[in-house]
Amino acid sequence: MARISASTRAGVALFVFSVGLSGPGEAGQQPQSGRDLYLNACAACHGPDGKGMPRSIVGFDIALPDLTRCSFATPEADADWFAVAHSGGAVRAFDRRMPAFGEALNNEQLTSVIRHIRTFCTDKAWPRGELNMPRALLTEKAFPENEALLTVAASGDAATTSIIYERRLGARSQFELVAPVAFSETDLGGWRTGVGDLAIAGKHVLFHSVGRGSVGRGSIVSVAGEVSFPTGDEDDDLGSGVTKFEPFVSYGQLLPRDSFFQFQGGIELSSDSERAPHEGFWRAAIGRTFFEPNFGRAWAPMLEVVAAREVEDDASVAWDVVPQLQVSLSRRQHVLLNVGVQIPVNGRQDRPTRVLCYLLWDWFDGGFLSGWR
């Protein structure tokens, strides 16, 4: 007997389920609860408990995800789960064996299925993916991440390129390494290049909440600290020449219509205040995410307001504004680009305008070269 392919099995299962929805059910009722819909539409592959059926039953070799594993189930927002459930794995460049249920289930039914899937993770310590708001250029977000970034900050006579590695530690914490390479122009018109001030940082979520079934509700608060070391050559303007410790708090708030607000406030403490004064800072970003039709590219214009003040009696507050635009590059939306301009509002004679950008790779969602088509 010829073996039926996995894709054929998935198609047959989806067809049978569609007929079951359109035909008369038991006592003339169709399954409406998220649990019932999941058991009818999803359990054949993902298992009634969400742990995935054995390969010998589903008929293909790719391991199915364990939906009870909180580290897998919580980082993505409902919108990403919805896209894959509605249009199949291909819409996010995942395996095409994941069928599209958009014609068999309406939006309300798909949403109820996703809510049921959310119950498989029973550890409430893990923040939900809705709270993973778009990353601004300067305001540190509160959500713990698994990311790698290449950042660039450039003005007329200086530039810094940094490689940032972020790794999530458990449900609420994050570890970060920052390795900058600095460039500065010499008096003779040439350029000096060298390693800047290396830094390590940690973050821990204190509070998070997402309103059930409500748009524009949810908040997250984290505390963090960063230590930078004087590895850059101060004489060549490649480093500060002092050790700095930067404790801060970050806050994120979901707003209606896919909008969001983020805030960061803290103080930068120097090991030698004569060479590098202590400085307080606060930053805020507001923006909104727009999605192209059919679960396409995401665009997130943002505006940051940045303020800093040296801890001295006669010091004034330096204000900047940073308009910017983040856009997803890959189909999986795990590679993103953000470009903006930091514009001084006051003290322009001492602080130049800077071009800022980053290329972000969410490595938890797959390799950099995967997920594009």
* Count of other CB atoms within 10 angstroms of residue 133: 25
Dihedrals φ, ψ of 263, to 5°?
-140, 145
How far apart are alpha carbons 284 and 303 in whole angstroms?
8
DSSP strands (E only) in 155-189: 158-169, 173-185
Say whether pLDDT at 129 is over 90: yes
Cα(30)–Cα(26) distance, integer angstroms: 7
Q: Please give the CATH number for the structural domain made up of 6-118.
A: 1.10.760
Could you tell me the two tokens for 40? 């009818």
Least confident of 183-187, 269-273, 328-332: 183-187
Q: Which residue ranges make up each domain of the chain?
A: 6-118, 129-365
Q: Per this entry, what is the length of the chain?
A: 373
Tokens of 31: 């399954």
Express each pLDDT in 270-302 by its tens digit. Answer: 999 889 999 999 999 999 999 999 999 999 999
pLDDT at 60: 79
Q: Is-same-fold flag (6-118; 129-365)?
A: no
Residue 5 reports pLDDT greater than 50: no
**From the CB of residue 341, how many other CB atoms can be counted at a distance below 10 Å?**
15
- How much is the pLDDT for 118? 94
Q: Which residue has the tokens 């090991």?
A: 271
Which two three-digit tokens encode residue 265?
């406030």
Torsion sign (Cα): 208, 212, 213, 215: negative
> pLDDT tier at 228 (50, 70, 90 boundaries)?
very high
Top-level class of domain 129-365: mainly beta
Q: 266 pairs with which residues across the strands? A: 248, 281
Q: Whole-model pTM?
A: 0.88
What confidence category does residue 212 fall into, taking pLDDT thresholds of 50, 70 and 90?
Answer: low
Report how far residue 356's alpha carbon sits from residue 106's, in angstroms, rounded to the nearest whole number. 42
Check whether 9 has a pLDDT greater than 70: no
Query: With 90 as the cut, is the pLDDT of residue 4 above it?
Result: no
Whether 19 shows a pLDDT value over 60: the answer reads no
Mapping DSSP to helix (H, G, I), strand (E, B) and coil, where does residue 314 land?
A: coil
Taking the C-alpha atoms of residue 80 and residue 324, their distance in angstroms, rounded to an integer, is 24
Asked whether the predicted pLDDT for residue 8 surpasses 80, the reply is: no
Q: Is 264 exposed, middle or buried (0-12, 13-18, 19+ CB in 10 A)?
A: buried
Which helix (DSSP H) or strand (DSSP E) does residue 15 occupy? helix 6-22
Distant-in-sequence, close-in-space partners of 265: CB < 8 Å, separation ≥ 6: 248, 249, 281, 282, 283
Angle between helices 107-118 and 34-41 (to 10 degrees): 90
List, for residues 159-177, the tens digit of each pLDDT value.
Answer: 999 999 999 999 999 999 9
- End-to-end, the C-alpha distance of the chain in Å comes to 35
